[in-house]
Structure 1
């Protein structure tokens, strides 16, 4: 049974029971040697004293604290001997030296340990204060000679300079490090509650993020929060600039460093991450990498960001404190340091950091030009979200003073789906093109690209086509235009044209342009552009079967995964198409998985034209399962989203037809007729509307009129698309059956099976509630027995998916850091952008995502989000019908 030991970390009346940490130390001391290595203020001493003070223990605990800057090995070992002889009183190494010969003292220590019958644990705390090389050599031999009943715990701010490799190989060493001592978010909340501090969940999470679980930081924050009139505001403003935090870091960290290390720390605090080269540049002296490595090894609030230990960052509170101290002592140097950092990052292609430091140095014009020069590239690389991050460095309205920013703002607004704001910014950018230098031709290319994307996203399909014609003419005239620039614009043009042709039903033209665009993107090394083209090729046509279209969609997804683009909204059409094809083929569960993934990657930024597809497919899924009210909501959402487009979507007739059909099936024929009356289909695309009219006739009890409505569809030459035709045959069969003509009903059902078999179109049978009709067909010969059996099985087995949910995992299964990363997975942020939001390295994000996949049993991002929603770790939804 765990012992109830309270761990005092608050410095006030707040107590936190950290039984798991005490149990970790229990397990550790079963080894010969335990090393506890962590930064100052991590709670090492508090943990050891709580553990040593357990009255129920059956072992003898000897506690020695090394006095500050202890350089005398004789005093050190004499203190150890005195502590073993008087274990009831904690002893410091300041005790008088009673034996001049150190070896004799050590022999006496070993003899005293052997004489004890019960187990003995010798704790040496603050070992970093020991400055004697000889003492560490003696300590190494002492541990090697330790009797079997004795254990040693060494607690220090840095790993002790003794050789541990043989003990490690023998499994005789246990190590407890900063990560083990760090407070979790749950423990932070518990500490606040125990201290009587009323703070919101978000406030507690923010405090944990700022302190990074550092015990001393939490303790000082709790002291300040106790009785504070505005705790939420205090947490929002809490940083390393807090006086108590600053005094602690000054005394326990900065002042302990040599002068050259202090200089390096102060001047590198302006960057969020650094390597040796950048640190040398900022500190104006070589050797910074060695200093950073030494600081990391000394647990001095410095952490490496990569396995090679070449990139480093400071603890957030330390960085805050150092920046304040730099401004206090060397304010005149700050602008130049920012300029140096900006040049360094710009030379290495890190535009985000370069811009941040340019703005900090007051060099807004150059920062604006740098953003404008790279915004088009970010869009082409699928990193439009980066633009939003960069623009945060500028004050609101800066684009009016710096027109170069207008282009970047337009791309950022468009990426967020705010078309009106994007149009306004784009107009501002265009107004400055005539005065742009000839060398800034890329700006005009970017404007043209964004203008196309804006028109496409707004559903202005005819405008896209007109602009493409003008661009073709201008590109033909621009013989001096750089090849790469022309190729990029050509690829963007083919993409936009192909997407518009897809959504307007000109699939043969779309096939040609999207294929050309994908091939061009591959040649010029633009994988995002290639994926975007491929993602819109997963739709069946006269030359592409349902099976082939489905495979194309899967290949587009595989291509995106190879390039790390599987979490981008541009992939939503491919995911939606694959899901839709699965539903057409009666694989409803499979279709639902693909649709969930499509909504996840689309998030709030899915384009309206794509949202039309996803809403329609979602309605199909509900209708196929017999969930008519849910289907009505989805079809209504599809119609509402279609109305946002100024051009007609190719799916508009089908949306209107199925919306009216569902209204009729729910006993609302008047609403159904009104829905059809409001829609005028284009010539040659009235099949879905006629099917809906037939449904209404059947609901009204007029099968003969239904047959009359359907006659033109079934007899059309050349025939209409198989989807509409299968549905028409099934509706005709039902009309014949209700008229008492079973032979004609069977013939219609046979015709439906014949049309459906090449693509295995099972969904129309569920949509038209064809079970009674197929019962008639069983008494006749059919050439499609296998398909008939599959359809009948599907109609019998269709049921609503279970709402059962497994309980969420225990709190220790997902760490707070993993949960923070998990909350970003449903968004359209890339891993790099998540890392930027959380102020960690992409390596850290990748590690957390791998752990999340393993713990959630998921193979990709979408599956992880889906599983997390099942476990109530994220909001659980197939996006609402009103999403667009």
Structure 2
């Protein structure tokens, strides 16, 4: 994950190491034994599941400090539910703990937008190369509410090599098949009841606060709190000031309501006015440093205040050994925010504005946007997305970007770049109509003279995704008529080459795709690089050169495997082509099945229909009865495409060869008969999304006249329908 400022690197690093132990650290050997048995017994998962304030993080940090294994620690936050963000941080955490090639895995995460199948496959392969033991800890895992992250983590637990143990600390059980792990004796568990402090442990936790208490009072205190760590800590703070400890314990309650009452009746009474104000004002922050505290509160001495507060209050947790960054215990933070909302609601937007300004000045536009939105300043947040939005898009953090855009509300419809970013989010999510809608909004609000080149790649991708090769081809021709390919990122060149490839324009496709692959390699944009190679294989396959197609497809597959993208759905056509052109029946069958599995996950109609056709063709040739239904499925896919280009013709050709259709589908070399001027006029309208009645109206002729011309066009081109006629006309350079 690219971080541009030194402070940002420091803050990000706090997510990747265990919290510092509290001053009163209690070794809990009975729990350490359970955790040790999980590691030593090679359990795949160690699950620590208990309510907030139970001492989960402290237990794990102190236990791991005494273990010999390397430890990768990730402190999860709500924003980490974005799959690309989550896996990027986890890969970085593992890379810091063990010599895996994190620099090679990160592009896989980014390029696949955090696709769980792609990332976990690559990560497991990297971990398999590590010989020494490794413990991977994810703290506060309950904050991960993304289905893709959950699927990926369960798969990672299933596939991890034996020397790797995954530890999850969570308030609620993850949605995994835990019963299966229990039956296989592959899980060690610590529950809320296990984490309750007994009397001896409570004595160590409270330290000097209970020196004057006899055993009976200490037993009673543990009973009142039910051994709840947070309740004991709060009780200890009050006991230091209590004139009658036995009376205090008698009245003390150890449930969640205790915390609310304690903060109002005990905690705030004990701190002076200035400290109370600073606590409330900084409650809007997830992490605190001295400089940040000073900026938000308008005071000085924030660093010393944090250090002094942490030394006497275990609810302020240090995040690094330099004692630069801290965070409030979640219980304290939530209740401070509640109190601040009641004490000065009108000041909270201003506090967020100060925090946003500080983060922006230090280069963290993401946190700046979070605070702008929290403070209700959506216009300023939208302005920041001009810089930060493309970064999120480039890093694959689509869910994070979408979340920001959704919070903008109607403001997103008034700003060019927000509409464009929304269009990309919808496209990547497979909502092509919504993507086109946002592209239209972008054009409506774009100021005069606005360079629309950044939108061209999206426009071509939408057209191809909907199976409209004609529209994509028109756009591609506009691009190559200028020097835009040289001036913009590789995704524009890849989309341009794809449009030419699906349109059967081999020479133009080869030029664009060769350039796209070179540019993607230089930019380290690995998915674009792989896709450029995949489309090169499609071009060679359409050119009826089996040897060249086999070589190109193998190059695409090998490159994908090298980049850790072998499970990326975009590679499916290359596997399908390698299956169709290969000489080894067993490998061809395996490639075909793999291609089908990939293509069904997220492919566009063009790619899916092509893969279905190629795999059906291959399986029929191998005597597998599953092949023919694939061709029928491909026909239904192409039926919803306005213009499937060469993919549609390949299906017709395949159906003819296997006796499923009468029309040959062969490439037209010459016209059966020259088209008349009026037939040419009608032909030019065929690629457009217009009915024959619409064409008749446009040409000021009757509907029957257009129907007559269309029949003549099909006959002279040697095809049976409109879509085939469009592709045949392109082959003959009539369109």
TM-score (ref. length: structure 1): 0.44
Question: Pick from 326, 329, 337: which aligns with 1:323?
Answer: 337
Matches within 5 A, 1:115-514: 246-247=260-261, 262-273=276-287, 277-285=291-299, 300=314, 318-372=332-386, 374-376=388-390, 378-379=392-393, 382-395=396-409, 397-402=410-415, 404-435=417-448, 441=450, 444-473=452-481, 475=483, 487-489=486-488, 491-514=490-513
Question: Pick from 613, 629, 643: which aligns with 2:610?
Answer: 613
Question: Pick from 551, 555, 560: which aligns with 1:548?
Answer: 551
Give the C-alpha shift of residue 326 in structure 1.
Answer: 1.9
Q: Sort the Cα spacing of 1:258 and 1:400 in 2 relative to 1 into closer, same or farther, 3 A.
A: same
Give the C-alpha shift of residue 516 in structure 1.
Answer: 0.8
Task: Give deviations 1:652-673, integer Å, cap 9, x for gaps.
Answer: 24434545777x6xxxxxxx34
Q: Secondary structure at the match of 1:587?
A: helix
Q: Work out which of the two has the higher radius of gyration on C-alpha atoms and give 1 or 2.
A: 1
Q: Sort the Cα spacing of 1:72 and 1:267 in 2 relative to 1 into closer, same or farther, 3 A.
A: closer
Query: Would you say the 8 A contact 1:557–1:574 is kept in 2?
Result: no
Residue in structure 2 matched with residue 515 of structure 1 by the alignment: 514
Distance 2:205 2:489 in 1: 73
Distance 2:290 2:563 in 1: 35
Query: Would you say the 8 A contact 1:642–1:652 is kept in 2?
Result: yes
Residue in structure 2 matched with residue 598 of structure 1 by the alignment: 598
Gaps of 5+ in 1: 1-20, 31-36, 53-60, 84-88, 95-124, 132-215, 221-242, 477-485, 665-671, 687-884
Give the C-alpha shift of residue 499 in structure 1.
Answer: 0.9
Matches within 5 A, 1:3-152: 24=31, 40=53, 70=208, 75=212, 79=214
Task: Give deviations 1:299-331, integer Å, cap 9, x for gaps.
Answer: 946667789886665565544333222221232
Task: Give deviations 1:732-755, integer Å, cap 9, x for gaps.
Answer: xxxxxxxxxxxxxxxxxxxxxxxx
Query: Would you say the 8 A contact 1:66–1:93 is kept in 2?
Result: no
Residue in structure 1 matched with residue 122 of structure 2 by the alignment: none
Q: Sort the Cα spacing of 1:68 and 1:654 in 2 relative to 1 into closer, same or farther, 3 A.
A: closer
Query: Would you say the 8 A contact 2:546–2:581 is kept in 1?
Result: no
Q: Secondary structure at the match of 1:603?
A: helix
Q: Sort the Cα spacing of 1:566 and 1:408 in 2 relative to 1 into closer, same or farther, 3 A.
A: farther
Q: Sort the Cα spacing of 1:647 and 1:410 in 2 relative to 1 into closer, same or farther, 3 A.
A: same
Q: Secondary structure at the match of 1:537?
A: helix
Q: Sort the Cα spacing of 1:526 and 1:627 in 2 relative to 1 into closer, same or farther, 3 A.
A: closer
Question: Pick from 644, 649, 653: which aligns with 1:648?
Answer: 644
Query: Would you say the 8 A contact 2:612–2:631 is kept in 1?
Result: yes
Distance 2:487 2:265 in 1: 57
Residue in structure 2 matched with residue 683 of structure 1 by the alignment: 668
Query: Would you say the 8 A contact 1:579–1:594 is kept in 2?
Result: no
Task: Give deviations 1:396-453, integer Å, cap 9, x for gaps.
Answer: x443455553222222222222222222221221123344xx6xx5x52323332232
Q: Sort the Cα spacing of 1:571 and 1:383 in 2 relative to 1 into closer, same or farther, 3 A.
A: farther
Distance 2:611 2:313 in 1: 51
Q: Sort the Cα spacing of 1:420 and 1:90 in 2 relative to 1 into closer, same or farther, 3 A.
A: closer
Q: Secondary structure at the match of 1:655?
A: helix
Give the C-alpha shift of residue 269 in structure 1.
Answer: 3.4
Distance 2:288 2:596 in 1: 40
Give the C-alpha shift of residue 489 in structure 1.
Answer: 2.8
Q: Secondary structure at the match of 1:645?
A: coil
Distance 2:372 2:580 in 1: 48
Query: Would you say the 8 A contact 2:596–2:615 is kept in 1?
Result: no
Compare the two structures and name the one with the higher helix fraction.
Answer: 2
Matches within 5 A, 1:794-873: none
Distance 2:461 2:591 in 1: 29
Query: Would you say the 8 A contact 1:613–1:651 is kept in 2?
Result: yes
Task: Give deviations 1:22-49, integer Å, cap 9, x for gaps.
Answer: 974777999xxxxxx9985559999589
Query: Would you say the 8 A contact 1:372–1:408 is kept in 2?
Result: no
Q: Tell me whether 571-580 or 39-48 shows the greater mean CA deviation.
A: 39-48
Q: Sort the Cα spacing of 1:62 and 1:556 in 2 relative to 1 into closer, same or farther, 3 A.
A: closer
Give the C-alpha shift of residue 293 in structure 1.
Answer: 7.2
Distance 1:302 1:536 in 2: 55
Distance 2:653 2:506 in 1: 21
Residue in structure 1 matched with residue 532 of structure 2 by the alignment: 533
When the two structures are aligned, how many residues end up with a matched partner?
Answer: 471
Distance 2:319 2:609 in 1: 43
Residue in structure 2 matched with residue 479 of structure 1 by the alignment: none
Q: Sort the Cα spacing of 1:311 and 1:623 in 2 relative to 1 into closer, same or farther, 3 A.
A: farther
Matches within 5 A, 1:779-790: none
Distance 1:339 1:305 in 2: 25
Distance 2:269 2:561 in 1: 55
Gaps of 5+ in 2: 1-27, 38-49, 60-190, 222-230, 238-252, 672-735
Q: Sort the Cα spacing of 1:491 and 1:263 in 2 relative to 1 into closer, same or farther, 3 A.
A: same
Distance 2:384 2:195 in 1: 56
Q: Sort the Cα spacing of 1:474 and 1:248 in 2 relative to 1 into closer, same or farther, 3 A.
A: farther
Give the C-alpha shift of residue 598 in structure 1.
Answer: 2.6
Give the C-alpha shift of residue 557 in structure 1.
Answer: 1.1
Query: Would you say the 8 A contact 1:578–1:594 is kept in 2?
Result: no
Distance 2:314 2:296 in 1: 20
Q: Sort the Cα spacing of 1:631 and 1:544 in 2 relative to 1 into closer, same or farther, 3 A.
A: closer
Q: Secondary structure at the match of 1:536?
A: helix
Query: Would you say the 8 A contact 1:246–1:321 is kept in 2?
Result: yes
Query: Would you say the 8 A contact 1:369–1:404 is kept in 2?
Result: no
Task: Give deviations 1:509-565, integer Å, cap 9, x for gaps.
Answer: 42321111222344456555434424433444439635422431134314643xxx7
Task: Give deviations 1:560-588, integer Å, cap 9, x for gaps.
Answer: 43xxx777655555565566666975315
Question: Pick from 541, 557, 560: which aligns with 2:560?
Answer: 557
* Pairwise CA RMSD: 5.1
Pick 1 or 2: higher relative contact order, CA cutoff 8 A, min separation 6: 2
Question: Pick from 609, 620, 634: which aligns with 1:638?
Answer: 634
Distance 2:293 2:411 in 1: 31
Query: Would you say the 8 A contact 1:459–1:647 is kept in 2?
Result: yes
Q: Secondary structure at the match of 2:643?
A: coil
Give the C-alpha shift of residue 282 in structure 1.
Answer: 2.4
Give the C-alpha shift of residue 72 in structure 1.
Answer: 8.7
Query: Would you say the 8 A contact 1:406–1:425 is kept in 2?
Result: yes
Q: Tell me whether 353-362 or 284-293 shows the greater mean CA deviation.
A: 284-293
Q: Secondary structure at the match of 1:650?
A: helix
